[in-house]
Amino acid sequence: MTLKSLLSTEVIFAYKPKPAEISVICRGLSFLLGAGVQLPQAIDIVAEYANKNMRKTLMGIKAQITRGDSLYAALLQSELPKIIAGMCRAGFETGGLSSILSTLASYFEREE
């Protein structure tokens, strides 16, 4: 590899959300879903208050689920911890997604 190719290589830094960010997002989604707001709209609402990187992550998840992908598949492909995908899958399949998100919010609050 030449110096020129090294200098022209774009460095991409992976976004790793902080536990506090994840907690706020999970808590907001839990509250909104519990109030009867549909998931795509709930994602829009919490994304308004998220930082730029989290907003991009959330909009990617929303795009996938509106295309017909499962929430589980969308979460697996995101930058969020994989435990969220597994827990949300269980919550979605049992009708307890709001409750699971609340539990995840509490978990990530303790992680901070």
CA angle 104–105–109, rounded 5-degree value: 115
- Confirm whether 89 is domain-assigned: yes
Domain with 39, as residue range(s), is 18-111
CA angle 42–88–30, rounded 5-degree value: 40
Q: CATH number for the domain including 64? A: 1.20.81.30
- Confirm whether 60 is domain-assigned: yes
- Confirm whether 33 is domain-assigned: yes
Tens digit of each residue's pLDDT (9 = 90 or more) over 5-62: 544 555 456 778 999 999 999 999 999 999 999 999 999 999 999 999 999 999 999 9
Q: Got the DSSP string for 4-53?
A: HHHHHSPP-PPP---HHHHHHHHHHHHHHHHTT--HHHHHHHHHHTS-HH
d(CA 45, CA 43): 5
Tens digit of each residue's pLDDT (9 = 90 or more) over 51-102: 999 999 999 999 999 999 999 999 999 999 999 999 999 999 999 999 999 9
